[in-house]
Amino acid sequence: MTGFVSFVGSGPGDPDLLTVKALDRIKRADAILYDDLSAGPILDHARPGADLVGVGKRAGRASPKQDHVSRLLVDYAKAGGRIVRLKSGDGGTFGRLEEELVALKAAAIAYEVIPGVASGVAAAAAAGIPLTRRLTGRRVQFITGHDVRGTLPEDMNLSALADRDAITVVYMGQRTFPALVALLTAHGLPADTPALLAEGVSTPAETLTRTTVSALAERLAQGVSDAPAVILYGPLADL
């Protein structure tokens, strides 16, 4: 009998941010295929005897290929039981969810998707600021800072990204942020636009740096840390 797959968003790392449904699926799983950033205390909730398989990806590090992860997920599901695919943050937000859904559909395997707290949302909460503002931050946009080659995407809508009234959340963008800021300022974004670098959100290693886009670009041009991070810029509240 074919198993059932639960795609579980684990949030940014703090087990207390798991939803009730996510926690239930983790506790009852026969096998958990987890991202790097979903490891640690979250896996402490797995039942004894459950298979725990690391399939995570980290920017700048050797990682399993996506087709390998998808095949492994299908193989576990075909063996039967309750399978959890544990994804950091929210699986549907730059979490390569679509490729794995396609693989399960092709294999006629049933699944469900349980959302998690996206790291961009958690970063704003950790900083104690709203992600939208009534008059000056009416739009939020989530973007990736690199493409499949690890470089800045070439087809970005720079006019939208330079919109002074939008709050932009950049995933996987530390290495390419200096290049992005050069393009944005050329398209009219002020160099003193507020920016927030959030590293290790909701973990003991959490670090929040409030600065400007130009100052942050200069800092990141000197080097980046290995900590998972998101960058927010735009009309961020100064409470």
Positions marked active-site: 35, 57, 172
- β-pairing, 194-199 with 229-233? antiparallel
Distance, in Å, from the CA atom of 139 to the CA atom of 123, rounded to the nearest integer, reads 17
Q: Select from 31, 22, 39 the least CA-distant residue to 74.
A: 31
104 phi and psi angles, rounded to 5 deg: -70, -40
Q: Which residues pair with 170 in a beta bridge?
A: 143, 231
**Tokens 């469900």 label which residue?**
112
**How far, CA to CA in Å, does 139 sit from each of 147, 163, 169, 197?**
23, 9, 11, 19
Looking at residue 226, its amino acid is D
Give the position of tokens 């958690």: 122
In 115-235, beta strands by DSSP E: 139-144, 166-171, 194-199, 207-212, 229-233
C-alpha to C-alpha distance for 32 and 55, rounded to whole angstroms: 10
CB-CB neighbours of 234 under 10 Å: 26
